Amino acid sequence: MNKMKPVILTGLRANNDLHIGNYLGALLPLIDMAKQRAGEYQINLFVPDLHSFTTPIDHSKLQDNIMQTLRVFVAAGLPLDQDDVHIYRQSYIPAHSELTWILDCFASFFVLRRMQQFEQKAGLQLSVGGKVPDPQRVKTLIQELEAFRKKNQDLEKLPPGWDRAQIEYLLFAVIENWKFSEKALARHHLNNRRLAGVSVGLFNYPVLMAADILLYNASYVPVGEDQTQHLEFTRDIAIRMNNQFGELFTVPEPVAKQHEFFGKDQGLRIKDLVDPTKKMSKSDETGRGVIFLTDTPEEAAKKIKSATTDSFNEIRYDMKERPGVSNLLQILALFTGRDLQDVIAQYEGQTRYGDLKQDVAEAVGTFLRDFQAKLVQVDNQAILAKLEKDEAAMREQANRVLLKVQRAVGLRPAA
């Protein structure tokens, strides 16, 4: 392994509910990247098992889900024989947890609190910009500052016990132009009730993600729109610690360069069959609009034939005005390997939506039969052997970075 190669890093989430949207939008681009970039780059594809229960899960199924995720990637074409492609489980590298604690002590509570993904997953009501200062605390600080100002004309002084944190908090509230209305207070108290059931792990997710990246000096990390804040947080904490302690970390490239490197629109967005205005997602409680990789061809055909189209009575590709039929045309093109424009030319203007649905069902059914046959043939022992080899190599890499950080912060004697 060439240790000087730049590192591309991404996670393979342990998830047993993968669907064709995941396959087309995430799995295939990731596997293509591993095949095309290996040799020039070190490719780290890890299973973020520590991230898996930031929200409640069935812990008895976690091990099976981890192996099933790896099996799915191998069935989809992930090369296990490529030396520059490394697969490993996050929790099998203790340095992830150790570096997370150190980074925690240099991370700002207010920065983490403003992470939009945390707000969304915690089910909080957002204020402007997703930032919610505590009204009561702001009032108290203002009262303290005003009382002190009346007694002390020297504005450069601060009340006893005050430090940068109080000033930053007040500036944060002022910038947000917070108004202490009854509605705002009600929202604040509702958020507090909801936070009571939210894990610290969910709140702390970006710090662990930063450790995942910084331990391996990764320059390139493909992230979706919901993860861009986390990548910027990683860059910020790496820059600040490098400034304070010397060159500890490789700073990942900024989001704009990540998009330039990977292609901003490489991830396809296959739509839900029942509600084609939203992307296909396992969070669909009915499952009627989602084709899972474990569905039989017959189950998939039933869902496709019940797919929402439109009332125009004419097939035309228009993702904005006719998302249902356009989604079907896109799925057909992808699973037949044809150019989308060729598919559109074949069906556009036809009035029999049922014929299109039948063709889509046949194409998806053929894919599912082929993929599930490959999945059965995956060699579990080959995966475990690859994991053991790669985890030993990654443990060595991560420990070198961790030791450098431990020495910098005084946890280990200087070299």
pLDDT value at residue 384: 97
Indicate if 264 and 389 belong to the same structural domain: yes
Q: Are residues 82 and 22 in the same domain?
A: yes
What pLDDT does 191 receive?
53
The total number of structural domains in the chain stands at 3
Q: At what angle do helices 353-377 and 323-336 cross, to 10 degrees?
A: 40
Q: State how far the Cα of 16 lies from the Cα of 69, in Å rounded to an integer.
A: 7
Q: The CATH number of the domain where 355 resides is what? A: 1.10.240.10
Distance CA(106)–CA(366), nearest Å, equals 52
Give CA–CA dist 118/27, Å, rounded.
25
The alpha carbon dihedral of 157, 149, 165, 250 has a sign of: negative
19: nearest Cα among 294, 268, 225 = 294
- Please answer whether residues 87 and 43 qualify as being in contact, where contact means their C-beta atoms are separated by less than 8 angstroms: no
Give me the pLDDT at residue 152, please.
64
Q: Per-residue pLDDT for 308 more than 80? A: yes
27 and 45 assigned to the same domain = yes
pLDDT category of residue 227 using cuts at 50, 70 and 90:
confident
pLDDT tens, position by position, 365-391: 999 999 999 999 999 999 999 999 999
Q: Is residue 291 domain-resident?
A: no
pLDDT digits (tens, 9 = 90+) for 103-112: 999 998 878 8
* 206 & 191 share domain: no
In a domain, 241, yes or no: yes
Helix/strand/coil percentages in the chain, nearest 5: 55, 5, 35
In DSSP terms, 38 is beta-bridged to 41
Q: Is residue 281 part of a domain?
A: no
Can you give the CATH number for the domain in which 232 is found?
3.40.50.620
Q: Does the predicted TM-score (pTM) go above 0.85?
A: no
**Does one domain contain both 242 and 306?**
no
Residue 2 lies in a domain: no
> Do 94 and 226 fall into the same domain?
yes
Measured distance CA(340)–CA(150) in Å, rounded:
71
DSSP letters, 259-307, are HHHH-TT-S--PBPSS-TTSB--TT-SS-TT--BTTS-HHHHHHHHHT-
- In a 3-state reduction of DSSP, which class is residue 175? helix
| Mean pLDDT value across the chain | 84
Which residues form the domain of 143? Answer: 123-195
Same domain? 213 vs 344: no
pLDDT at residue 2 in the model: 45
Q: What is the pLDDT of residues 331-369, one digit of tens each?
A: 999 999 999 999 999 999 999 999 999 999 999 999 999
- What ranges make up the beta strands (E) of 85-226? 85-89, 218-220
Would 183 be classed as within a structural domain?
yes
Whole-number Å distance between alpha carbons of 230 and 55: 17
